[in-house]
């Protein structure tokens, strides 16, 4: 094998991995995910859109691993660098945009969505970061001999606030970043919610006695579900709604935060510019065949479903604008219609305080032998529960 690169710049770009159709599809899918996160109050729609975006990125990295480390590699180091840039886009879209999404997620949506939206998205995101880290580490280990034209690897460049030579430092740094994000996903609240829902399956039959442990009341079982995950502690308040088959209105208090959408879009555009400048600075040789082949057109056709779902969400968002403005004006004119946060949390604490496992030793010794005090707790607890439920219903009706 000759030690000189047969091309003036870089070998021809592998269009199936980093062609113009694949790049456009990735960019558009990322933007549609941002729009859906910004305007849609439906967790199920958002998770479905994000899941498609994650699967697309997994397919790109998996394809790069297969064709890059086969007995006859079909991509060069420059192709791997472009594919590596694709792996940063989910970090921008899903984590930065998801930070705001996590804060405005409503409990009613979280309760009434099916389990797959949390469990499978957690598995998919973890798989995506693990594949990205593995791909990065393997390319790092074989950087000098990687690809179909290893003699051209010394000319590989990337653009990050300037043209930079591809070195070990970049790959090591990104492998660490992927590891951090993968660990954060495993330890995230979404993971805790998934585990709590699995745990809660033991208590789903509280009404007819199924799923409760011997001697446990439905209230105590539901209290354990709320305590298992403090992030969704409000689920205990809505337990009575679920048991009575009258769930609270969905999408309550939803207000789109355009600032987060604009910030993430700007960051996405900056990274798209970095990716395209990386393609330009590597000076890829012209491909042997036509650019627009099946590998370029198929990803564009796959955008049909995300485009339809996003356009439907935008139309609904525009259609519901008068209702949202009226609800905001009503809340501004009637501050008493809002649920008092302090009283609500005090009620939760009061409802949860009667668990004997959580009481201190002094309270246990004092109250265990006094049936009068134990009986006195029951009407106060029921009264507090009714007050909390009436406040929530009143506030929801006022907003709707």
Q: Quick one: what percent of the chain has pLDDT higher than 90?
A: 0
How much is the average pLDDT of 89-94?
75
Q: Which of 378, 31, 47 is CA-nearest to residue 219? A: 378
Task: Give me the residue label for tokens 């309760």.
Answer: 111
How much is the average pLDDT of 328-354?
49
pLDDT at 273 over 50: yes
Q: Quick one: what percent of the chain has pLDDT higher than 70?
A: 45
Of 53-62, 311-320, 335-344, minimum mean pLDDT range: 335-344
Q: How far out from the chain centre does Cα 122 lie?
A: 8
Task: Give me the residue label for tokens 């789903």.
Answer: 204
Mean residue pLDDT of the chain comes to: 63
Long-range CB pairs of 299-302 (<8 Å, 24+ gap) are: 299/21, 299/22, 299/24, 299/25, 299/26, 299/56, 300/21, 300/24, 300/25, 302/25, 302/56
More confident residue, 50 or 230: 50
Q: Provide the pLDDT confidence category of residue 200 given band limits of 50, 70 and 90.
A: very low
**Cα 399 to Cα 332: distance, rounded to the nearest angstrom:** 11
Helices (H), 40-92: 43-68, 77-86, 88-90
Task: Give me the residue label for tokens 């590596």.
Answer: 84
pLDDT tens digit string along 286-331?
777 666 777 677 778 878 888 888 888 778 777 776 776 676 666 6
pLDDT of the residue at 336: 53
Which of 101-115, 164-178, 213-227, 310-324 is modeled with the greatest confidence? 310-324
* Main-chain phi, psi angles of 41, to 5 degrees: -85, 0
Of 173-182, 195-204, 366-375, minimum mean pLDDT range: 195-204
**Cα 12 to Cα 287: distance, rounded to the nearest angstrom:** 5
Helices (H), 142-216: 168-186, 189-200
More confident residue, 210 or 273: 273
More confident residue, 112 or 155: 155
Q: Do the beta carbons of residue 67 and residue 4 sit within 8 Å?
A: no
In angstroms, what is the C-alpha Rg of the chain?
27
pLDDT of the residue at 246: 36
pLDDT of the residue at 130: 77
Q: Do the beta carbons of residue 327 and residue 49 sit within 8 Å?
A: no
Q: How many CB atoms lie within 10 A of CB 363?
A: 13
Query: Residue 147, by phi and psi: left (phi above 0), alpha (psi -120 to 50) or beta?
Result: left
pLDDT at 79 over 60: yes
pLDDT of the residue at 187: 55
How much is the average pLDDT of 239-251?
37
């Amino acid at each position: 094998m000759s030690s000189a690169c047969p091309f003036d710049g870089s070998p021809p770009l592998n269009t199936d991995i980093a062609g113009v159709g694949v790049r456009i599809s990735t960019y558009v899918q990322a933007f549609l995910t941002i729009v859906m996160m910004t305007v849609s109050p439906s967790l199920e729609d958002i998770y479905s859109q994000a899941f498609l975006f994650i699967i697309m990125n997994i397919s790109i990295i998996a394809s790069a691993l297969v064709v890059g480390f086969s007995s006859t590699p079909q991509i060069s180091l420059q192709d791997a660098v472009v594919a590596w840039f694709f792996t940063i886009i989910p970090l921008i879209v899903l984590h930065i945009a998801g930070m705001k999404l996590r804060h405005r997620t409503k409990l009613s949506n979280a309760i009434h969505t099916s389990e797959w939206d949390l469990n499978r998205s957690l598995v998919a995101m973890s798989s995506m970061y693990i594949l990205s880290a593995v791909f990065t580490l393997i390319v790092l280990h074989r950087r000098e001999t990687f690809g179909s034209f290893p003699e051209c690897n010394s000319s590989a460049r990337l653009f990050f606030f300037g043209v930079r030579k591809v070195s070990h430092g970049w790959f090591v740094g990104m492998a660490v970043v992927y590891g951090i994000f993968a660990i954060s996903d495993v330890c995230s609240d979404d993971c805790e919610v998934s585990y709590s829902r699995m745990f809660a399956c033991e208590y789903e039959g509280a009404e007819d006695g199924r799923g409760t442990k011997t001697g446990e009341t439905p209230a105590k079982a539901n209290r354990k579900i709320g305590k298992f995950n403090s992030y969704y502690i409000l689920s205990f308040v809505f337990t009575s709604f679920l048991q009575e088959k009258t769930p609270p209105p969905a999408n309550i208090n939803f207000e789109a935060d355009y600032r987060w959408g604009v910030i993430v879009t700007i960051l996405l555009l900056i990274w798209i510019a970095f990716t395209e400048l990386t393609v330009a600075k590597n000076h890829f040789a012209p491909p042997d065949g036509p650019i627009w082949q099946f590998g370029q057109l198929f990803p564009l056709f796959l955008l049909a479903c995300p485009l339809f779902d996003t356009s439907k969400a935008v139309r609904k968002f525009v259609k519901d604008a008068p209702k949202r403005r009226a609800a905001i004006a009503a809340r501004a004119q009637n501050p008493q219609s809002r649920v008092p946060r302090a009283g609500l949390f005090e009620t939760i604490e009061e409802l949860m305080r009667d668990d004997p496992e959580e009481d201190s030793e002094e309270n246990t010794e004092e109250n265990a032998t006094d049936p009068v005090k134990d009986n006195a707790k029951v009407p106060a607890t029921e009264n507090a529960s009714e007050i909390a439920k009436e406040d929530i219903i009143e506030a929801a009706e006022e907003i709707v």
